[in-house]
Amino acid sequence: MSTADQSPAARRRGRRPAGQDTRAALLTAARDVFTESGYEGATVRAIAARAGVDAAMVNHWFGGKEGLFAQAVLKLPFDPQIMVTTLLEGGLDGLGARVVRQFVTTWDATSGGTFPALVRSLASHDQAAAGLRDFLVKHILGHIVDRIQADEPHLRTNLCASQLIGIGMARYVAKFDPFASADVETLVAAIGPTLQRYLTGDLGLTDQP
C-alpha cells in the first residue's frame, strides 16, 4: 500500500484542516467541472486549477480522475479501481457471480444509497448523465472486459451494465418483491450465470461480422 507519511490518514493526523480543505475544495470543483464538461472532457488539471490546489492532490486524495468522479459526482460507496482489481484477482471462473455479489453487497451496505439519484440523473439529459454513462461503461466494466480479451468487448460491457442497472432498479428503486428482500446468494445464484455469459460466453452473434 502507500507509505505511512503519504497516506490520507497520516496527513489527516498531521494537518487535518488544510488537508480536509483541499479534499473538500477538490470535491466541489470536480462536481462543477464534471457537470460542465462531462466525464471525458473534464481534466484533472482543470479540476485542480478550479480548486486552487496542485493537480497531484487529486491522485493523493482520490487515486485519480475515476476515484474523484466516483466520490464527487456518483457518491459511490466503493473505490472503483480497487473493486475491479479485486474482482479480476479470482480469474475468469466464477467472475460473473463475483461481480453480482460485489454489486449487491456494496449497494446493500448503504440500503441502495445514491442509486435512485443516479437513475434520476441517467433519466435526465444533463452533462452529468453523459459523464455517468462514460464512467460506468468505459471505466468500470471496460477495465474488466479489457482483461478478458473476448470478442465484442463493447457489447459485453453494455450487456453487463444493462443487467447490473436492472438489479439496482429491481432491488433499490422499484423494490420488487421478492427481489428486494432476497438474500445475496439467491441473487448471485440466479444472476451470476447471466453476467458470466455476458463477460466470457457465446453471445450467439453468428451472423455478425
Q: Could you give the count of Cα atoms lying within 13 Å of 51 in the half-sphere of its Cβ?
A: 29
Binding-site member from 22, 71, 194, 196 for a copy of itself (CB under 8 A): 194
Binding-site member from 113, 192, 196, 199 for a copy of itself (CB under 8 A): 192
**Minimum CB separation from a copy of itself for residue 72, in Å?**
20
Binding-site member from 12, 126, 176, 184 for a copy of itself (CB under 8 A): 176
Binding-site member from 76, 165, 199, 209 for a copy of itself (CB under 8 A): 165
**Minimum CB separation from a copy of itself for residue 95, in Å?**
16
Query: And the C-alpha cell for 162?
Result: 444493462
The one segment of 27-35, 38-46, 55-63, 170-178 that binds a copy of itself by CB under 8 A: 170-178
Rounded Cα gap, residues 92 and 50, in angstroms? 42
Rounded Cα gap, residues 132 and 181, in angstroms? 27
Give 88 or 137: the residue with its C-beta nearer to a copy of itself: 137
Binding-site member from 175, 184, 196, 209 for a copy of itself (CB under 8 A): 175
Per DSSP, the three-state class of 114 is coil
Name the packing angle between helices 80-89 and 95-108 (round to 10°): 150
- The contacts of residue 62 (CB under 8 Å, 6+ apart) are 26, 68, 70, 71
41-50, long-range: CB < 8 A, 24+ apart = 42/69, 42/131, 44/68
What are the Cα distances from residue 79, in Å, to 72, 83, 85, 126? Answer: 12, 6, 10, 24
Looking at residue 209, the DSSP 8-state letter turns out to be: -
Q: Could you give the count of Cα atoms lying within 13 Å of 88 in the half-sphere of its Cβ?
A: 16
173 near a copy of itself (CB under 8 A): yes
Give 62 or 115: the residue with its C-beta nearer to a copy of itself: 115
10 near a copy of itself (CB under 8 A): no
State the binding string over 111-150 for a copy of itself (x if CB under 8 A, else -): -----x--xx-xx-----x--xx--xx-------------
41 near a copy of itself (CB under 8 A): no
Residues interacting with a copy of itself, by CB under 8 A? 116, 119-120, 122-123, 129, 132-133, 136-137, 154-155, 157-159, 161-167, 169-170, 173-179, 182, 185-186, 189-194, 197-198, 203-208
